[in-house]
Amino acid sequence: MGLLVIPALAALLAFGIWAALALSAGWLALVIVSGLLLLVGLYDVVQRRHSVLRNFPVLGHLRYLLESIRPELQQYFIERNYDGRPYDRDTRSVIYERAKGIHGELAFGTELDVNEVGYEFVVHSTAPLEPDEAQPRVRVGGPDCTRPYDMALLNVSAMSFGALSGNALRALNAGAAAGGFAHDTGEGGLTDYHLENGGDLIWEIGSGYFGTRTKDGDFDPELFRDKAAHPQVKCVSLKLSQGAKPGIGGVLPAAKVTPEIAAARGVPQGEKCVSPAAHRVFGTPRELVEFIARMRGLADGKPTGFKLCVGSRLEVLAICKAMLEAQVTPDFIVVDGSEGGTGAAPLEFEDRVGMPLTEGLITVHNALVGVGLRDRIALGAGGKVATGIDIVKRLAQGADYTNAARAMMMAVGCIQAQMCHTNRCPVGVATQDPRRARAVDVADKSERVRRYQEATVAEAQRIIASMGLPGPHALTPDMLHRRVDHADVRSYAELYDWLKPGELVAEAPEAWAADWAAADPDRFVPVRSLTTATRRGDLV
Ligand SMILES: Cc1cc2nc3c(=O)[nH]c(=O)nc-3n(C[C@H](O)[C@H](O)[C@H](O)COP(=O)(O)O)c2cc1C
C-alpha cells in the first residue's frame, strides 16, 4: 500500500506538466512540488538504512518528524500536572515561580491520590510554632578538621564545567554568593567560572582527578594543595560514585575537549578525556579513609568528605570498620540516590543500578550511628530534592543537609528538554556551544538561584514549624509516614531499623550481624554471597 505513493506522485507530476502546458503557468508549482516529492520517494525506496521509508516512501518521513517533536508534544499537551518525568509539571512550576519571586502556591487542593500506596506525608502539630526567619546552618567539621564550615540546608549539587556552560556556572555561583549557600564544582575541575563571583565552593575530584592530575592521570598532591588553598574553597570532596551512573566512569569525546575544557581538566586538547570507573588512589576501604586524611592534610584542615551512591550495605560497613581501625573519619558524606541526574549515562544505569536515596541514606545514617561515629560526620543527601517537603523528608530520614542539581538547573532556566548529552541545550544551560550559552543572563539567573534556594528553605522551615518543632535537628523518622496498603499507614520509625549509638560495635542486631561480621576494612566486596562464590570457585 505504502508504495502506491510513487505512482500517485508520478501521476500528479504528469497532470501538473499537462496543466502547466495546456492551462496556465501557475500549475508549475504543482510540477515542482510533485517532482521533488517523487525524487524523495524514489530515494526512499532505494536507500537501505530505514525500513519504514523503503515500505512507506515520503509518508514515512512523518514518523521521524513527529518523533522529533514528541518530547515537546508530551510536555505541552499530554503530561498532567503530577505525572511528568523526571520532574512533574507541578514541581517544575514551583521551582520556576520561586526562582522568579512569584508565590509558588496552588488553588483548590491536592491533585495527588492520598490513598495510593507509597503516598507520604508528615505529621503537623495542633500547636505549631512560628518559623525561624534566619536560615539554619549545619556545622561540617569533625575532630580532625581545623576549619569547619557552616552548611546551608539546601546547596548546589556537583555539576562540572563541561556538563554545564560557563554562564550557567557563573549564575549558580553568584546565586550561592548572594544567598550564602555552597556550590559544588563537580569533577570537571575548579575553573574561573566557579571562582569569579565569590560563592563558597566545595571542590570535588573524581576518578579522573581533573584539575589536579599528573600527565599519567594520577593524583597530583602539590596541585591539589595549591588549589585547595583558594579562600573560596570551603570543603573538598572525593567522588566515589553518582546515583545516575554508579560503577562507571565517563568519556568526553575528543571534539568536546576544547582548549578551555583541556585547561580546566589538565588533559590534552582534542583528545578523548576518560574518567575511569575506579580510583587509582585507593583500592580498599582502609586506603579510602587514609586518602581522605591525606586530602584533609593537603587542604590544610578544611572539611573533607566523599560522595557516593550506595551499592551494598556490606561495603558501607567495611568503610565504617576502616574508619574505626584507622581512627580517621571524613567530615561529611554525601549520599546520592539512584534517582539522581546526570549530563549523560546509559539508560540501564539510570534506571536500574544503585540504591534509591531513601534506602541509601538510611543505610549510611544507621551504619554511622551503629559504629558510634554519627556525631563526627555531617550527612548530605541528593536525589530529586526540589521543594521544602523534599528537604524535610530527607532530614527526617537521617540527613543533616541536602543538595540539588537539576532543580538548580531549572532555577537557571533549564526546561527539562533532556538534551544535556547533545550539546544542543535549547536554553544554554547544559552546553558548550557559546551561541546557545549566551542565552543565560548571569545577573538575572543568579538572582533566580538565590530566590529559589531562599524560598525553598523557607518552605521547609515553615513545614518544620507546622510540626511544632524548634528546628530541623528535631525531625525524626516517626514524623514521616507512608501508605503501605489501602488500609495501612506506617511511620518510617516502624518501616526501617534504626540502630542505637554504638550498637553495631557492642552487639550487632540480628538483621545486621552477618553483614557486620563479613565487612572487611581491607576489601571491597559488595555482597556476602560473592564470598561464598569465591570459596566455591576455589574448590573447583
Ligand atoms: C548535568 C549534570 C552534571 C552532573 N555532574 C556531576 C559531577 O560532575 N559530579 C558529581 O558528583 N555529580 C554530578 N551530577 C550529579 C548531581 O551532582 C547530583 O548528585 C544528582 O543529579 C542528584 O541530584 P538531583 O536529583 O537534584 O539532580 C551531575 C548531574 C547533572 C544533572
Residue 509 inside a domain? The answer is: no
Same-domain pairing of 154 and 24: no
pLDDT for position 166: 96
Same-domain pairing of 353 and 456: yes
Dig out the grid coordinates for 268 from the structure. Answer: 590534552
Nearest CA to ligand 1 atom 9: 186
Same-domain pairing of 20 and 144: no
Residue 82 inside a domain? The answer is: no
Residue 393 inside a domain? The answer is: yes
Same-domain pairing of 224 and 337: yes
- Cβ atoms < 10 Å from Cβ of 231: 9
Q: How many structural domains are present in the chain?
A: 2
Asked if 337 and 383 count as a contact pair (C-beta separation under 8 A), the reply is yes
Nearest CA to ligand 1 atom 11: 158
Residue 100 inside a domain? The answer is: no
Residue 279 inside a domain? The answer is: yes
- Ligand 1 atom at minimum distance from 341 CA: 21
DSSP one-letter code for 182: E
Q: Return the SS3 of 137.
A: strand
430-442 burial, b if ≥16 CB within 10 A, otherwise e? Answer: bbbeeebbebbeb
Same-domain pairing of 52 and 179: no
Q: What is the dihedral of CA 250, 256, 260, 261, to 10 degrees?
A: 0
Residue 538 inside a domain? The answer is: no
- Ligand 1 atom at minimum distance from 158 CA: 17
- Ligand 1 atom at minimum distance from 164 CA: 1
Same-domain pairing of 148 and 37: no
CA 344 to chain CA mean position, Å: 11
Q: Return the SS3 of 482.
A: strand
Query: Among 37, 68, 99, which residue terminates a domain?
Result: 68
DSSP one-letter code for 136: P
Q: Cα–Cα distance between 27 and 29 in angstroms, integer?
A: 5
Helices (H), 51-191: 51-55, 61-68, 70-73, 89-100, 166-179
Of the CA atoms within 13 Å of residue 464, those in its CB half-sphere come to 28
DSSP one-letter code for 500: P
Same-domain pairing of 41 and 145: no
Q: Please, what is the Cα angle at 236 between 262 and 217, to 5 degrees?
A: 35
Same-domain pairing of 178 and 314: yes
Asked if 316 and 359 count as a contact pair (C-beta separation under 8 A), the reply is no
Of residues 57, 111, 59, the one with CA closest to residue 81: 111
In terms of Cβ atoms closer than 10 Å to its own Cβ (0-12, 13-18, 19+), residue 300 is: exposed
Q: Cα–Cα distance between 249 and 302 in angstroms, integer?
A: 27
Domain around 237: 137-467
Residue 240 inside a domain? The answer is: yes
Residue 449 inside a domain? The answer is: yes
Of the CA atoms within 13 Å of residue 49, those in its CB half-sphere come to 1
C-alpha of residue 162 to centroid of ligand 1, in Å? 12
Q: Which of 342, 355, 408 to mutate to test the pocket of ligand 1 (most atoms within 8 A of CB)?
A: 342
Q: Cα–Cα distance between 34 and 287 in angstroms, integer?
A: 71
- Cβ atoms < 10 Å from Cβ of 504: 26
Phi/psi region, residue 518 (left: phi>0; alpha: psi -120 to 50; beta: rest), is: alpha
Blockwise average pLDDT, block size 10, the chain, 540 residues: 90 96 93 97 96 96 93 87 90 96 86 96 98 95 98 97 95 98 97 98 97 95 98 98 92 79 90 90 98 98 98 97 98 98 92 97 98 98 98 98 98 94 93 94 98 98 98 98 97 97 98 97 82 44
- Ligand 1 atom at minimum distance from 343 CA: 1
Same-domain pairing of 325 and 455: yes
Q: Cα–Cα distance between 407 and 413 in angstroms, integer?
A: 10
Same-domain pairing of 63 and 162: no
Same-domain pairing of 57 and 154: no
**E-assigned strands of 125-181?**
137-140, 149-152, 154-156
pLDDT for position 529: 60
189-220 burial, b if ≥16 CB within 10 A, otherwise e? Answer: bbbebbbebebbbbbbbbbbbbbbbeeebebb
Query: Among 446, 467, 488, which residue terminates a domain?
Result: 467
Q: What is the dihedral of CA 438, 439, 440, 441, to 10 degrees?
A: 90
- CATH of residue 246's domain is 3.20.20.70
SS3 of the chain: helix, strand, coil, percent, to 5: 45, 15, 40
C-alpha of residue 113 to centroid of ligand 1, in Å? 30
Tens-place pLDDT, residues 105-134: 888 999 999 999 999 999 999 999 999 999
Q: Cα–Cα distance between 385 and 434 in angstroms, integer?
A: 29
Query: Among 443, 467, 491, which residue terminates a domain?
Result: 467
Same-domain pairing of 441 and 308: yes
Dig out the grid coordinates for 339 from the structure. Answer: 534517582
